[in-house]
Amino acid sequence: MKVKYFAWVRERVGKAEETIEPPATVRTVEELIAWLSGRSEAYAYAFEKPKVIRAAIDHAHVKPDAAIAGAREIAFFPPMTGG
């Protein structure tokens, strides 16, 4: 699946997007955050406060317990500050 990062999550991870293949045991958004956090110090820093991170699956906001099965694109970003 494709993963996208925005704002300071993008800056901390060090890339805007990538394709990942998490193991089948990673079923939800919060499990994916935990799995990503274990990849490197950069990911651990980006996701150090997982409760602050917002997520979207296929362009729609989702909660941490949302299932990631079938997702084409998952995005992680800080709370929004537009307008």
Partner 1 sequence: MTTPVTSCPVTIRIQEDDFDIAREIAVLTKSRTDIGAVVSFSGICRADDDSAKIAALTLEHYPGMAEEEIRRHADEAISRWPLNGVTVIHRVGRFMPGQNIVLVLTASQHREAAFQAAEFLMDYLKTSAPFWKKEESATGTGWVEAQARDDEAAARWTKS
Residue pair 51/34 in contact (Cβ under 8 Å)? The answer is no
* Residue found by looking up tokens 């997702």 in the block: 71
From candidates 6, 22, 27, 37, binder to partner 1 by CB under 8 A: 6
User: Does 14 contact partner 1 by CB under 8 A?
Assistant: no
DSSP string across 36-80: HHTT-HHHHHHTSSTTT-EEEETTEEE-TT-B-TT-SEEEEEPPP
Q: Which of residues 33-72 bind partner 1 (CB under 8 A)?
A: 56, 59-61
From candidates 23, 38, 70, 83, binder to partner 1 by CB under 8 A: 83
Cβ 39 to partner 1 shortest distance, Å: 22
Residues contributing to the site for partner 1 (CB under 8 A): 4, 6-8, 56, 59-61, 75, 77-83
